[in-house]
Amino acid sequence: MTDRHDGGQAFPELGIYEMPDGERLSLNRTGGMTLRDWFAGQALAGLTTLDADCGPLGVARDAYAHADAMLMARSEKKP
């Protein structure tokens, strides 16, 4: 697991590239959504079904609070 606060890339891809001389290179692609963003999106899906009176910004903040809690729980030492 990564030590990054955002959990790292949610869906890392491995790209295989073949050079003109036939040599093959393996490169990790960068970019895309972080694990924190993925967790927040999953939380958001559930939070939007609730009758919340805090408005869209409040729901978005709650989604990231849930994502942060999931990342924290994920990094805890297992027995």
Q: Where are the domains of the chain?
A: 32-79
Alpha-carbon torsion 7, 1, 42, 62, what sign?
A: negative
Q: Hey, which of 11-15, 44-48, 61-65, 73-77 has the most confident mean pLDDT?
A: 61-65
pTM of the entire predicted model: 0.63
Eight-state DSSP code of residue 9? B
Q: What is the mean pLDDT of residues 16-30?
A: 74
Q: Are the C-beta atoms of residues 11 and 32 closer than 8 Å to each other?
A: yes
pLDDT tens-digit map of 37-71: 999 999 999 888 887 778 889 989 999 999 999 99
Judging by DSSP bridges, how do beta strands 14-18 and 24-28 pair with one another?
A: antiparallel
